[in-house]
Amino acid sequence: MRSLVSYAEAMEVHKPYIAMLFVQCVYSGMALFSKAAISRGMNPPIFVFYRQAFATIAMAPFAFFLERKKAVPLSFKFLFKVFLISLSGITSSLNLYYIAINHISATFAAATTNTIPAVTLLFALFFGYEVISVRKMEGIAKLVGAVIGFSGALVYAFVKGPAMKFMNWYPQNAQTAKMASNSFQGYSDSEWIKGSFVMLSANIAWSLWLVLQASIVKEYPAKLRITSLQCFFSLIQSGLWAVAMERKADAWKLGWNLQLFSVAYCGVIVTGMTYWLQIWTVEKKGPVFTAMFTPLALIITAIFSALVWKEALHWGSVGGAILLVVGLYCVLWGKNKEEDIKSEAIEQRVDIKEETNSASIC
Query: Contact at 8 Å (CB) between 202 and 97?
Result: yes
Helices 295-307 and 315-361, axial angle in degrees (round to 10)? 140
Supply the pLDDT for residue 205: 92
Banded model confidence at residue 181, pLDDT cuts 50, 70, 90: very low
Query: What DSSP assignment string belongs to 157-186?
Result: HH---SB-GGG-S-GGGHHHHHHHT-TTTT
Residues 225-240: pLDDT tens digits? Answer: 888 899 999 999 999 9
What's the confidence (pLDDT) of residue 86?
93
* pLDDT at 354 (0 to 100): 62
Per-domain boundaries in the chain: 2-131+173-309
325-348, pLDDT tens digit by residue?
A: 787 778 777 877 777 777 777 767
Q: How far apart are CA 333 and CA 143, in angstroms?
A: 11
* Max CA separation in the chain (angstroms): 85
pLDDT at 176: 44
- pTM of the predicted model, to two decimals? 0.72
Whole-number average pLDDT of the chain? 77
Residues 6+ apart with CB under 8 A from 311: 177, 180, 302, 305
Question: How far is residue 354's CA from residue 70's CA, in Å, rounded to a whole number?
Answer: 33
Question: Per-residue pLDDT tens for 134-155?
Answer: 778 888 887 888 788 777 767 7
Helix, strand or coil, per DSSP, at residue 248:
coil
For residue 186, give the nearest of 115, 257, 108 by alpha carbon: 108
Which residues, at least 6 apart from 349, have a Cβ–Cβ distance to it below 8 Å? Answer: none
Distance CA 224, CA 64 (A): 9
